[in-house]
Structure 1
Amino acid sequence: MSHSALTSGDFIPWPTEEAASYRSSGYWAGITFGELLARRAAESGDRCAARDQNRSLTYRQLDDSASSFATGLRDLGIRPGDRVMLQIPNRAEFLEALFALFRLGAVPVMCLPAHRHAELAAIAEASSAVAIVVAQDGVGFSYVDLAQRIRREVPTLRHVIAAGPATARALSEAGADFGDLYLPAVEQPAPSAGAVALLQLSGGSTGIPKLIPRTHDDYLYSVRRSVEVCGLSESSVYLAVLPASHNFTLSSPGILGALWAGGTVALTEDPSPSSAFAFIKETGTTITALVPPLARVWVNTAERSGAPGLETLEVVQIGGARCPGELAARIRPALGARAQQVFGMAEGLVCYTRLDDPEDIAVGTQGRPMSDRDELLVVDEHDRPVEAGASGHLLTRGPYTIRGYFRNPAANHRSFTADGWYRTSDIVSVRPDGNLVVVGRAGDFINRSGEKLSPEELEQHLLRHPLVDDVIAVGMADEMLGERTCVFVVPSAADTAPSLTDLRTFARQNGLADWKLPDEARVVREFPKTKVGKASRADLRAILRG
């Protein structure tokens, strides 16, 4: 075993009895992701597995590439359990590298293309990564140069590998090329299905990365069940426009779900409507996933200019952040596809609105848990269960919700109870029909003179204003009140913006109490974004701090 291989102390497994129950009941199928690809290649090798803007791969070609690349990685000295950072944008080589690591039993650490030095250095340190696989080129940016810098700073990081179409080259510190790692495939032992398959990154707002260990068993169950809920089949074409390494894009049902179903994954680096709409037409896309800000851009474009060529598009998933009801209601008229709300977290729990749900559920809720073994608790600040239908802090556990972060006892103490419940930091209410309504994030609430204000409640009201295209409410420090409420408004027309008085009057007329009304309004052209395209409340708070 290499010095960096995983040990039993690196992550917290499910209790033995629960794990046995999940296996005996079929939730955990004992299949690895490498075995999944091999099965698909054997069953339907000539079907298209993946395509990007430049090339396509059949299932057999993807399987052969993964085996060949895995052999090269093994010859480079990478061993099962070693962590390998993966930073490749939405290209076919992302899948070649991902499945090579799966097949070898190495553990991909799912970095985002937008990550830069601060994030990558911290992730490399936290994971004790031995290698980083990056795109061999970028648009106006060198992934390789950044990876070389990280290698010089992190002692465990021994290898920088530049991946291109069906090629991967290990580079010396000086940039010399050690040769192609695509070698004649040599069969190697498959990892255990109970082993850690990959490390996802927590979506939290702290600068310290929390690494989420997902096993083949639990992650593949999440994928399989998502496929069942979302109705994917061999005829499905899933378009990845959000970063492929993000949990939502990868597994809900995402890229891995399309491959489990025997369908096709289409990948694009350009999520803009003009490019994405054309690629949807070209690929016959049936399902895609968006975060709310991107969905709003697509919908606005379609409403202004039309959206020809989207006839094959059946489902637009919205997740990553709560989707305002008014936006969800506009998706079908604008894009001709059903909106499916997705609420969950990389740590586990996934909720979906079902495709046959009535409109009020599809638009007004964030769906219900996908598994009959998902457990939910909604509690107050003292961990006491709230009354039925009341809002509270969401806790969850189940067959695909982790029991602890990777090598992070302090985060585990904060985020997990002694009996295995994960504290999601989401404030929700559960309707009598089992569907969840997400009220907000625990840390986002504004404490105005002792009254707790939900930013999302105010935003929902203001989004109905005819001059408001989008709005985010955040708290700003105030000596008298503790916090005041500032709303950042993107106007629906460039030359006409609502005043603070307009917004306060409108919200009051819609039934909001005076203490919930905005104290300040700022007009912006767009919101700052996180690495995955979500609007960043943290950056807006920083603007207010000056």
Structure 2
Amino acid sequence: MTIEFTRWPQQRAQAYRDLGYWLDQPLTCILDERCQVQPDALAIICGERRFTYADLDRLSSNLASRLAAHGLGQGDAALVQLPNIAEFHVVLFALLKAGIVPLNALFSHRRLELGAYVKQLSPKLLIASREHEVFRDDGYETLFEQATARPQIALLLGDARTEHSLAHWIETPGSEQAPYAPTAADEVALFQLSGGSTGTPKLIPRTHNDYHYNARACAEVCALTAQTRFLCAVPAAHNFLLSSPGALGVFHAGGCVIMADNPEPLACFALIEQHGVNTVALVPSAVALWLQAAPPHREQLQSLRYLQVGGAVFADSLARQVPTVLGCQLQQVFGMAEGLINYTRLDDSDEQVFTSQGRPVSPGDEIKIVDEQGTEVPDGQAGMLATRGPYTFCGYYKSPEQNAQAFDAQGYYYSGDLVQRLPSGDLRVVGRIKDQVNRGGEKIASEEIENLIVLHPAVTHAGLVAMPDEALGEKSCAFVVTRDPTLKAPALRRHLVELGIAEYKLPDRIRLIPSMPLTAVGKIDKKRLRQLLAVDTNRTWLKTRLLQLIEDGETLDPEENLIFYGLDSLQVMRLAAELKERGVAVSFEELASAPTLANWWALVESRQKAA
């Protein structure tokens, strides 16, 4: 029995084999090869614990054999949710060895997300941690109410009961040495999670052939070797940290992965110094924190050579600081769990590295950049990205409607990204057409949050849009129409928390509005919501800026002439110039003719609507 998925067309599949992209070997060959060449080399450092490649092989074999003895194997699925610890990789290799297909949920996912995955997969195996709030007691069993069957086995890190103790199953060989084997190389090895724009989480089937090539190609572009010391500080389940090149790329090269709980700068700086870390992968929001914290701690970063940054667009201004502030080489990454990975190269010019997101890692990657009519656009012009290739999937799991929208007749996948192709061949990401928020690398589907907000009995409409943020790139703003005038933002956030969503999905700002703007066909007018958001942002900025300029800001009356607060003509000229820089075209004369905060707010709003 095998997992259902959309296969590559036979002609393309054969071409990938002929070109050496697909080796027809299971992902477990990565560990097998290391154990043959360097079994005693360090594979993982996790706190005070050290794991050689031989240890990783032995422990994962223990678990694989025990699972096989309990009747689990090829064609079965597992839901796995573990933090950044060595057991994450032990479990991964154990499941791959046994032919059990894992879905690795992020540790930040809560009851709502986990329940959706269970409903889609009906996993026969659950592996999680008692540290997670969902699994602190056995109430987690309600997750499986909508599944076709409950899991046959539940293994929990930190559980004292032998039959449920993940540590016991890993560390103790089973009394029965049951045979086990991976699924075939052209079958599903694992599921990744899509950061799509719909309310239902979509599952991405990745085969041994395509995922193995993904890791190998990225490891080659990133020049990983047996001397690589890679810090895993972003969630290990992310495609970025698992195979781009991630841990699998490091294991393929014979290097060592150092596990960190999270990307908090000072803790990571200590790990870099202690273990001679030379490579780290981060999302832009984490890099911003590192750049702030690094100057007094530069001596701890002496071993660091490469910083890979992906998950969201990285601002040029921050990119240019990396070599001088962190003392290492920047490598930008633009990739997706669905497949296509782009990297700037280690010998690229500074301008390429600072201002682009690189080019595909494989000569087999095919890319089209098209307009709304599907016509390819010239280099330098922005368009929709479409791609296919030896490690880009061919369809979401059991999602015919989404697949019909995401793929064209030639099998190209439309990622929802708006990109430009530069003369160098590098891609620059300039936006997206998907309705989602990219909050520091975590993708939030607007539709999902909107559908949850309107479950509140007092809410009639909800619309979620992205707003710019210097630290995270984007944050979320929810516009809400309610029939209860006393409803406040904290009550809506409490409502979402009680539904069990991940914390990063909670709206950063909630704006209550009297009615929801709609398009001609009755859909929420997101363009108008973004205009309202821009007005709000500029109103807040304008008041904050005035408070910096005038002496008696604490008692600022919106209707009072600002001249009486000490504002002078030069300051008004400066404000007019600053508003123009923010995209609000107003003149000094317009501001000076009616110098009250209320009038200026109205002027800003009218210009924002006209834009």
Q: TM-score, normalised by structure 1?
A: 0.81
Q: Choose which of 53, 56, 72 in structure 2 pairs with 1:59.
A: 53
Match among 517, 528, 546 for residue 482 of structure 1: 528
Looking at structure 2, the residues matched to 227 and 142 of structure 1 have their Cα atoms a distance apart, in angstroms, of 36
Do the aligned partners of residues 269 and 168 (structure 1) sit closer, same or farther apart at CA in structure 2, a change above 3 Å counting? farther
User: Can you list the C-alpha shifts for 1:240-268, whole angstroms capped at 9, x where unaligned?
Assistant: 11110110110110010000000001111
Matches within 5 A, 1:39-58: 39-58=33-52
**CA drift at 1:52:** 0.9
- Residue 61 of structure 1 aligns to a residue whose secondary structure is helix
Q: 1:36 to 1:445 in 2, by over 3 A?
A: closer
CA distance in 1, matches of 2:301, 2:170: 43
Superposed CA deviations along residues 85-107 of structure 1, whole A, max 9, x for unmatched, are: 11111101111110000001110
**Structure-2 residue corresponding to 1:279:** 271
Structure exhibiting the larger radius of gyration computed from Cα positions: 2
Cα distance in 2 for partners of 1:48, 1:180 equals 18
Shift of 1:469: 6.2
Residue 35, structure 1, aligned to residue 26, structure 2:
no
Q: Counterpart in 2 of 1:214?
A: 206
CA contact (8 A) 1:144 1:162 kept: no
1:151, distance to aligned residue in structure 2 (A): 3.5
CA distance in 2, matches of 1:93, 1:252: 20
Q: Superposition RMSD on alpha carbons, in Å?
A: 3.4
Where do 1:336-351 residues align within 5 Å? 336-351=327-342
C-alpha displacement of 1:137: 3.5
Partner of 2:72: 78
1:53-452 matches, cutoff 5 A? 53-138=47-132, 142=135, 145=138, 147-164=140-157, 170-171=163-164, 182-183=173-174, 185-303=177-295, 305-443=296-434
State the shift of 1:180 in Å: 7.9
Distance 1:498 1:220 in 2: 56
What letter matches 2:293 in structure 1? Answer: T
Q: 1:180 to 1:317 in 2, by over 3 A?
A: closer
How far residue 508 of structure 1 moved from its aligned partner, in angstroms, is: 3.2
**In 2 relative to 1, CA 498–194 (structure 1 residues): closer, same or farther, beyond 3 Å?**
farther
Preserved CA contact (<8 Å) 1:170 1:180: no
Aligned residue identity for 1:101: L
Counterpart CA distance in 2 for 1:252 and 1:58 is 22
Contact 2:27 2:208 in 1 (8 A): yes
Q: State the 1:43 CA deviation.
A: 1.2
* Aligned partners of 1:161 and 1:168 also within 8 Å: no
User: Number of aligned pairs?
Assistant: 484
**What are the superposed Cα offsets for residues 215-264 of structure 1, whole Å, 9 maximum, x if unpaired?**
01001101000011000000001111111011011011001000000000
User: Which structure 1 residue ranges, 5 or more long, are not aligned?
Assistant: 447-454, 516-546
Q: Counterpart amino acid of 2:143? A: I
Note closer, same or farther for the CA distance 1:496–1:302 as it changes in structure 2 (3 Å cut): farther
1:20 matched residue in structure 2? 14
Identity %: 35
Aligned-pair CA distance for 1:503:
8.5
Gaps of 5+ in 2: 438-464, 480-515, 519-524, 550-571, 587-611
Find the residue that maps to 2:127 and give its secondary structure.
Answer: strand
Separation of aligned partners in 1, 2:84 and 2:436: 35
Q: Does the 8 A contact of 1:111 with 1:245 survive in 2?
A: yes
Deviations 1:329-354 (A, max 9, x none): 11121111111110010000000011
What is the one-letter code of the residue matched to 2:376? Answer: P
Instruction: Report the CA distance between 1:506 and its aligned residue.
Output: 3.6
The alpha-carbon distance between structure 1 residues 178 and 218, as it changes in their structure 2 partners (threshold 3 A), is: closer
Residue 134 of structure 1 contacts residue 144 of structure 1 at CA under 8 Å; is this kept in 2?
Answer: no
Asked if the contact 2:116–2:201 (Cα under 8 Å) also holds between the matched residues in 1, the reply is: yes
Query: Given that residues 42 and 60 in structure 1 are in contact (C-alpha distance below 8 angstroms), is that contact kept between their aligned partners in structure 2?
Result: no
Distance 2:475 2:197 in 1: 17
2:384 partner amino acid: H
Question: Deviation at 1:438?
Answer: 0.3
The one-letter code of the counterpart of 1:53 is G
Q: Is the 8 A contact 1:49 1:262 kept in 2?
A: yes
Q: Displacement of 1:473 after TM fit?
A: 8.0
Helix, strand or coil for the counterpart of 2:428? strand
Aligned-partner Cα distance in 2 for 1:107–1:266: 25
Deviation at 1:182, TM superposition (A): 4.4
- Report the CA distance shift for 1:98/1:296 in structure 2 as closer, same or farther (over 3 A): same
Q: 1:135: Cα distance to partner?
A: 2.3
Preserved contact between residue 68 and residue 180 of structure 2 (Cα < 8 Å): no
Match of 2:485 in 1: none
Q: 1:396 to 1:285 in 2, by over 3 A?
A: same
How far did 1:145 drift?
A: 4.1
Tell me the equivalent position of 2:589.
none
Q: Is the aligned partner of 1:11 residue 2:5?
A: yes
Q: What are the Cα deviations for residues 489-525 of structure 1, in whole angstroms up to 9, with x where unaligned?
A: 999xx999989x9888347359x6849xxxxxxxxxx
> Take 1:141 and 1:213, find their aligned partners in 2: how far apart are those partners?
26
**Residue 492 (structure 2) aligns with:** none
Partners of 1:497 and 1:197 lie apart in 2 by: 58
| Native 8 Å contact 2:312 2:473 kept in 1 | no
- Aligned counterpart, 1:540: none
The answer on whether the counterparts of 1:342 and 1:352 sit within 8 Å (CA) in structure 2 is yes
Superposition TM-score, scaled by structure 2 size: 0.72
2:319 maps to a residue whose letter is A
- 1:183: Cα distance to partner? 1.9
CA shift at 1:83, angstroms? 0.9
Q: Are positions 1:505 and 2:497 aligned together?
A: no
- How big is the shift at 1:307? 3.4
2:206 and 2:366 mapped to 1: Cα distance? 18
- Return the alpha-carbon distance in structure 1 between the equivalents of residues 46 and 160 of structure 2: 16
How far off its partner does 1:38 sit?
A: 1.6
Select the structure that is richer in helix.
Answer: 2
* 3-state SS in 2 of match to 1:437: strand
Q: Does the CA-based 8 Å contact 1:353-1:362 persist in structure 2? A: yes
Give, in angstroms, the shift of residue 162 of structure 1: 2.8
Change (3 A) 1:474 1:198: closer
